[in-house]
Chain A
Amino acid sequence: MILTGAAISEAVAVGDIVIQPFTSAYVGPNSYDFRLGDRCLTYNERTLDSALSNAAQCQIVPPSGLVLEPGRLYLFNTEETMGSTKYVPIIRGRSSVARLGVFINITADLIDIGSINQWTLQLHAVNPTRVYPGMLIGQVTFWRTQGTVELYSGKYRDRTSPVPSLLYLDFASERSADGKG
């Protein structure tokens, strides 16, 4: 069951949902619109490897914005710190942004319950598109759960900047677990 905008506002008031800073004008009928942060991370190499730590550089995007080029991945932080210890957040772009051909995530729209931080957005564009820090880029919905809640304690917690993929840590831990080196 998805929370209505009124339920999101109530949950923020009692602390079941964290949205900081929170602006009531950005509450929609069943979601909250969040802003694009000003930090953008891009990988140094064009070809990436899931099993390796792919070197990346972070830049501060000025108010004049940044043009996203097709065929390249841009990891941004959200301006807001967001999360919930009670509801499951699911993020998506705003239709206004999608109509420009800008993806803000890549098939991973589900946020773990208990993951409360600035989230890393995966931007990529169909056509060259200029984006600006602080623009309303996406929306978050909140969903009720069934079952005992166990909070997220994974590798991306407590972040305030975009974080590159840490998938290679899985490979490292599985190598040590199976003893094959």
Chain B
Amino acid sequence: MGQQVILTGAAIREGVVSGDIVIEPFDDSATNPNSYSYRLGNTLLHIGNGPAFTVDRSGYVLLPGNLYLGHTKEILGSHKYAMTLLGRSSTGRLGLFVNVTADLGHVGSLGQWTLELRCVQPLRIYPGCRIGQIAFWATSGPLVQYDGRYALDLGPIENRDDSLEHSGRVGAQMPSTKEQR
């Protein structure tokens, strides 16, 4: 039985075939030795600066000091494996963060994942670029499927933490966050 082992590329491929892993659309050439490289979707949300907008082929320059929510182009998830959502070293070498210390995806999460984009230096990004990678982990213990407030998301999703709103600390348009993962 699995004990928090990481799946190899071959095991990820098998998981996609058997349905234990969802990567839609799936492109086998994006399978790495122990992860899968996902693409950036075309919708961005600049937190604290208006509604979500679509980025065209000419790209968009992210500026330091800002938080942008993007999303994966692919629908990603698994009812069997836990997931970690990471950048690629190619994007890390450009100073681009794709999450803010919350890299863990729940078993049962399925959707376009919200990315928390933040850059060290100004950086032009493009929709469709393979911007990050997702790794899958076998678990130990009985499985409970995620059915939380970010289930089945499409596009970038702002913070939905009711507990903060009830405490009066966060309004609907406040800088906020993301998928519970």
Contact = CB atoms under 8 A, between A and B. Distances in A.
A37 B5 CA distance: 30
A2 to B, nearest CB: 7
B94 A48 contact: yes
A48 B59 contact: no
B90 interface: yes
Enumerate the 5 nearest inter-chain pairs by beta-carbon distance, A residue then B residue, closest first.
A147-B11, A107-B87, A147-B8, A165-B93, A108-B92
Interface string A134-152: 0000000001111111111
A49 B124 CA distance: 5
B140 to A, nearest CB: 9
Contacts, number: 157
A112 to B, nearest CB: 4
A113 B34 contact: yes
Contacts of A51: 59, 124, 126, 129
Interface residues of A, number: 48
Interface of A: 1-2, 43, 46-51, 54, 71-73, 75, 88, 105-110, 112-115, 120, 122, 124, 143-152, 154, 156, 163-167, 170-171, 174
B61 interface: yes
B92 A146 contact: no
A107 B86 contact: yes
A50 B14 contact: no
A170 B130 contact: yes
Given A146-B7, A146-B8, A167-B91, 6 more contacts: A72-B120, A108-B88, A108-B133, A110-B135, A144-B5, A165-B91
